[in-house]
Amino acid sequence: MSELKMINGKTLRMLSTVTFGLTVIFLGFSYFFSDGFFGSICSADPVCFFSGINSLPFFLHRILAVVLLAWLVYYLHFIWLYYRTDHLLLNLGTILVVLYFFQVLLGLAYVFGQPTTTAGPVMHDITAWLILIDVAGLVVVATKAGEPTLNHPELDLRERFFDVVMLTKPVIVLLLLFTTLAGMFFGAKSVPPLNLIVLTLVGGALAAGGSGAINQYLDRDLDREMQRTAKRPLPSGRIYPAEALAIGIAFCIISLYMFFAFVNLLSAALTFAGMVYYVYFYSVLLKKATVQNIVIGGGAGALPAVIGWAAVTGEISWASVILFLIVFMWTPPHFWALAIVRQKDYAKVNIPMLPVIQGELETRRTILLYSLVLVATTLLLPLFNFAGTIYLLSALVLGAGFIFLAIRVLVITGNKVAWVLYKYSSYYLFLIFLAVIFDSVF
């Protein structure tokens, strides 16, 4: 307890000043000695650790890197322990550590000759400036921060882990990852390289999960009022808003670095577009503004399939556009079926979902219309000879089931049939993209 009494605002300012000083020393040394003055004497080969007096700057550079990493981890732990509700401080501190981690990772890739994209070396330089800007911002924010909170509740690490997982909307993430994987197989027309699969799926999981966390941060007041979402980590108070935002932004940044540095520039650009689309255009602009929110917002969920294709091929083709359209057309009937079941929730928080604004009958008619368009869209792949017999048969059988259930939703009132369609539509998307994978391999 006496140790806690010694922790106050001055402690934060002191730690922030030391963080700024160590960071500036490291970046300055890196530029003037390792990269600049001594760059022509010794290459970045690991042998420079032991090749004599001229290798000393390179050795010190690596020692400073380890020391700074240890300090930043300690500093971030302090912030997350005592300033968990401070949006600026928590986010700047978290971003600093993420940026520094990738600065080190890119440096190691250069040292050991590991392949990166053409953006790797440029990102190394840009990241150094971003780190400097971030740590300067931290010092300014620390001078204006209040006193630390010393009585946060104890954290159960197991519960904390599951709360963070729930923050990312894991079911949606898994479905999006599967469409990404299918896009990769479809683009490769075989089994893609394992390392590329891992990098793309981990990057995609972080992008989707980070965007989902930011979405929950933005919707935390709405979620508190809706029965379906009231038990999420934010409205239930198990995670503070500042923590959710920091987690979401950190995941998104890590994802972008992975795609930019280790996959390719096109997949990185598409991933960034998907984040902006979902977090800003859907969550901020569309969700509360128009009855077409789900229709227009469906583009964000349709991009992962194209990202998977781009990760393998480095380009966009008509085949990948059709994959995009399949998910785009699937999204409205999937979510409108849920909206019928949960329309009281949406009406309560003034979200203009189709059944709330235009009524159930119009929603049921529109679900059938979009279901017909969806099935027709899935048949474009074999029509243009992008897919073969396995996919064609799967699309016909699964599509017939989708249309059958959509007709039942139209002719039978009540929530039960709508809920059946909602559940089936999730399996439908999984199975149609599984057919894409099998068709690509066999």
Model pLDDT, residue 287: 86
Is residue 369 one of the residues assigned to a domain?
Answer: yes
Integer Cα distance of 168 and 138 in angstroms: 27
Mean of the pLDDT values across residues 7-32? 87
Asked if residues 405 and 420 have their Cβ atoms less than 8 Å apart, the reply is yes
Model pLDDT, residue 40: 41
Rg (CA), the chain: 25
Is residue 2 one of the residues assigned to a domain?
Answer: no
Model pLDDT, residue 26: 87
303 and 327 in a single domain? The answer is no
Is residue 149 one of the residues assigned to a domain?
Answer: no
Q: Which residue has the higher pLDDT, 51 or 257?
A: 257
What is the span of the domain harbouring residue 372? 317-442
Is residue 24 one of the residues assigned to a domain?
Answer: yes
Minimum mean pLDDT range among 48-52, 236-240, 242-246, 286-290: 48-52
* Residue in 437, 360, 371 with CA at minimum distance from that of residue 400: 371
* Residue in 311, 318, 358, 319 with CA at minimum distance from that of residue 339: 358
Which of 82, 115, 144 delimits the end of a domain? Answer: 144
294 and 347 in a single domain? The answer is no
Question: What band does 59 get if pLDDT is binned at 50, 70 and 90?
Answer: confident
The 3-state secondary structure of the chain, one letter per residue: CHHHHCCCHHHHHHHHHHHHHHHHHHHHHHHHHHHHHCCCCCCCCHHHHCCCHHHHHHHHHHHHHHHHHHHHHHHHHHHHHHCCCCHHHHHHHHHHHHHHHHHHHHHHHHHCCCCCCCCHHHHHHHHHHHHHHHHHHHHHHHHHCCCCCCCCCCCCHHHHHHHHHHHCCHHHHHHHHHHHHHHHHHHHCCCCCHHHHHHHHHHHHHHHHHHHHHHHHHCHHHHHHCCCCCCCCCCCCCCCHHHHHHHHHHHHHHHHHHHHHHCCHHHHHHHHHHHHHHHHHHHHHHCCCCCCHHHHHHHHHHHHHHHHHHHHHCCCCHHHHHHHHHHHHHHHHHHHHHHHHCHHHHHHCCCCCHHHHHHHHHHHHHHHHHHHHHHHHHCHHHHCCCCCHHHHHHHHHHHHHHHHHHHHHHHCCCHHHHHHHHHHHHHHHHHHHHHHHHHHHC
Cα 410–413–417 angle (5° rounding)?
Answer: 75
Which of 269, 296, 314 delimits the end of a domain? Answer: 314
186 and 136 in a single domain? The answer is no
Query: What is the number of domains present in the chain?
Result: 3
Question: What band does 111 get if pLDDT is binned at 50, 70 and 90?
Answer: low
Taking 80 as the threshold, does the pLDDT of residue 46 lie above it?
no
Q: Which residue has the higher pLDDT, 442 or 275?
A: 275
270 and 377 in a single domain? The answer is no
225 and 323 in a single domain? The answer is no
Taking 80 as the threshold, does the pLDDT of residue 55 lie above it?
no
Asked if residues 96 and 43 have their Cβ atoms less than 8 Å apart, the reply is no
Integer Cα distance of 203 and 56 in angstroms: 36
Mean of the pLDDT values across residues 34-52? 44
Is residue 185 one of the residues assigned to a domain?
Answer: yes
189 and 298 in a single domain? The answer is yes
292 and 164 in a single domain? The answer is yes
Is residue 284 one of the residues assigned to a domain?
Answer: yes
Is residue 433 one of the residues assigned to a domain?
Answer: yes
Which of 144, 177, 207 delimits the end of a domain? Answer: 144
Taking 60 as the threshold, does the pLDDT of residue 51 lie above it?
no
334 and 421 in a single domain? The answer is yes
Taking 90 as the threshold, does the pLDDT of residue 116 lie above it?
no
381 and 439 in a single domain? The answer is yes
Model pLDDT, residue 49: 43
Question: What band does 48 get if pLDDT is binned at 50, 70 and 90?
Answer: very low
- Kindly state the tokens that stand for 99: 């940026």
What's the pTM value of the predicted model, to 2 decimals?
0.90
Model pLDDT, residue 108: 75
* Residue in 300, 317, 321, 310 with CA at minimum distance from that of residue 265: 310
What residue has token string 């190394």? 124
* Residue in 248, 274, 275, 271 with CA at minimum distance from that of residue 260: 271
119 and 214 in a single domain? The answer is no
Share of the chain above pLDDT 70, in %: 90
211 and 128 in a single domain? The answer is no
166 and 136 in a single domain? The answer is no
What CATH number did the domain enclosing 381 receive? 1.20.120
Is residue 151 one of the residues assigned to a domain?
Answer: no
Model pLDDT, residue 124: 81
Taking 80 as the threshold, does the pLDDT of residue 415 lie above it?
yes
Taking 50 as the threshold, does the pLDDT of residue 44 lie above it?
no
What CATH number did the domain enclosing 177 receive? 1.10.357.140
Minimum mean pLDDT range among 7-21, 29-43, 135-149, 397-411: 29-43
Q: Which residue has the higher pLDDT, 440 or 147?
A: 440
Model pLDDT, residue 86: 92
Question: What band does 74 get if pLDDT is binned at 50, 70 and 90?
Answer: very high
- Chain segment 303-344, per-residue pLDDT in tens: 999 999 999 999 999 999 999 999 999 999 999 999 999 998
- Kindly state the tokens that stand for 342: 């949960």
- Chain segment 369-380, per-residue pLDDT in tens: 999 999 999 999
